[in-house]
């Protein structure tokens, strides 16, 4: 196959779509820990390291149990782990997919499917929807990445 | 150092090797959660969120203990975590390594060492081989990435 | 916006800075598991898989409790997880940021803020400083990535 390096320009429609989606997904990836922090501050617990139970300006009134697992905090940690399982794969797959030169509309559908599915997954997870709803959102996001990888592999081989 | 942008073409042998290996590794990264899902469906347990124990079409007969850690499911989760610790580092290191313009045969050996070592690690982990076997596979994969990073750093400095 | 593909050359000051920082961060990402391995070898415990408690050349004297959580080992695992939450996001954000063509000095300040903050976070975590110190280091590193992403998004839109 042949590749036109112009695809790497931010003016190329496919790369432009990828770059915006990638920025949004990196924002999500980096902001989820802030939700964990906010929840830890709110319940003054759900900490993980022994030293976090010490008296400090951010923890002025230490109490027993601050290191126990707290479901409210742990939910945000699980959401973060789910991001780690999904987003770096999307970022790398999407970049190679752009280089493989897919048709613009096809690329936009696949990339935005991922972003929308992850946004829906976030809402389903944070509001504790039943497993089937969350699993459906996750499935769409996973299939979007698999589509990008398989398309790229076929172009490469 | 000087870089020839032609290395980013999918026609360049080094980039072509990297792109194929990267696609295979992203596939592995994205398919491991499907193994976790398949195992959760099989044992109807090993779930992580409280709402997953509710009665739904995918969980028609809720029972106590569905949220307990299940070794069969947890093995797949640990394999996933191990992928997260290894594959994103490979994807990023490999890309910078390609830009650093390594000799083709050297690059192919290092890149395929990583892929083969990860495949062997997968087999060792899923069949619960003793720790020393799994550790040996992991060591080869880790050294492959470290080789790429150190080569790139030397070229950069 | 317009992009000059020369920014992807390792001779371009911004890309050169990014590539060195990225190599250092990938090294950190790949070496943290070696600290976990070293700590597991030292305490002969903190293992995670049932088969790791079997008698092997690397585990010549199995004993009860080798699979229990060991704080000394677990600290290194938590540090690794924290790397996973921070470094892949930096690697991807930094690459898009380079393509967005930021002013050289601005880019260097943001990129090195991340690297220095992560190094300080490592020291704070490994020496078990109180939570506020570790949180401060983490905040700088997180803000550095957010700055890169928001700058890139603004350029893209």
Chain B, residues 67-126, CB within 8 A of chain A, namely: 80, 84, 88, 91-92
Average pLDDT on A97-123 reads 97
Residues in chain A closer than 8 A to B51 (CB atoms): 128-131
Are C56 and B132 an interchain contact pair (Cβ–Cβ within 8 Å)?
yes
pLDDT of residue C5: 52
Chain B residues touching residue C60 (CB < 8 angstroms): none
- Classify the phi-psi angles of B69: left when phi > 0, otherwise alpha if psi is within -120 to 50, otherwise beta: beta
pLDDT at residue A12, rounded to an integer: 85
pLDDT at A5: 52
* pLDDT on residue B12: 85
pLDDT tens for B138-156 read 999 999 999 999 999 999 9
The answer to whether residue B103 scores a pLDDT higher than 80 is yes
Quick one: pLDDT band at residue A8, thresholds 50, 70, 90?
low
Which residues in chain C have Cβ-Cβ distances shorter than 8 Å to A20?
153, 156-157
Nearest-angstrom CA–CA distance, C30 and C41: 18
Q: Which residues of C touch B125 (CB under 8 A)?
A: 49
Say yes or no for a CB contact (<8 Å) between A96 and B22. yes
The kind and range of the H/E element at A59 are none
* Residue among B107, B104, B141 at smallest CA distance from B121: B141
Enter the pTM of the model. Answer: 0.94
Size of interface A-C (CB pairs under 8 A): 95
pLDDT, mean of residues A60-72? 93
Regions in chain C scoring below 50 on pLDDT: 1-4
The shortest C-alpha distance from C57 to chain A (Å) reads 32
Q: What is the pLDDT of residue B1?
A: 36
The yes-or-no verdict on residue B3 having pLDDT over 50 is no
Predicted ipTM?
0.93
Residue % of chain B over a pLDDT of 90: 87
**Phi-psi region at C10: left, alpha or beta (left = phi > 0; alpha = psi -120 to 50):** alpha
pLDDT over 90 at A9, yes or no: no
Q: Considering chain B, what percentage of its residues have pLDDT values greater than 70?
A: 94
Which residue ranges form the domains of chain A, and what is each CATH number? 5-156 (1.20.120.550)
Average pLDDT of every residue of chain B: 93
pLDDT of residue A65: 92
Evaluate whether A146 touches A156 at the Cβ level (below 8 Å): no
Cβ-defined contact of A23 to C96 (cutoff 8 Å):
yes
Lowest mean pLDDT among A113-127, B50-64, C27-41: B50-64
Of B30, B32, B89, B91, the residue nearest C83 (C-alpha): B89
Q: How far apart are CA B49 and CA A1, in angstroms?
A: 45
> Quick one: average pLDDT of B41-57?
93
pLDDT of residue A1: 36
Beta carbons of B26 and A89 less than 8 Å apart: yes
pLDDT band at B7 (very low <50, low <70, confident <90, very high): low
> Looking at residue C8, what is its pLDDT?
65
N- to C-terminal Cα distance for chain B? 9
For A152, the closest of B23, B37, B88 (CB atoms) is: B23
Across the A/B interface, how many CB contacts are shorter than 8 Å?
Answer: 96
CA A112 to chain CA centroid, Å, is 13
- Among candidates B71, B54, B70, B74, which has minimal Cα distance to B62? B54
Check C89 against A20: CB less than 8 A apart: no
């Amino acid at each position: 196959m042949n590749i036109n390096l112009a695809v790497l320009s931010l003016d190329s429609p496919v790369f432009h779509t990828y770059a915006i989606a990638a920025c949004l997904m990196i924002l999500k990836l980096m902001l989820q820990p802030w939700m964990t922090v906010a929840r830890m501050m709110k319940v003054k617990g759900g900490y993980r390291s022994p030293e976090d139970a010490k008296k400090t300006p951010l923890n002025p009134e230490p109490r027993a149990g601050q290191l126990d697992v707290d479901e409210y905090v742990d939910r945000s940690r699980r959401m973060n782990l789910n991001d780690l399982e999904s987003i770096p794969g999307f970022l790398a797959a999407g970049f190679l997919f752009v280089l493989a030169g897919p048709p613009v509309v096809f690329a936009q559908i696949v990339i935005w499917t991922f972003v929308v599915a992850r946004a829906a997954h976030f809402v389903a997870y944070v509001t504790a929807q039943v497993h089937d709803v969350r699993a459906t959102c996750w499935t769409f996001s996973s299939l979007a990445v698999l589509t990008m990888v398989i398309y790229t592999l076929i172009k490469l081989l």
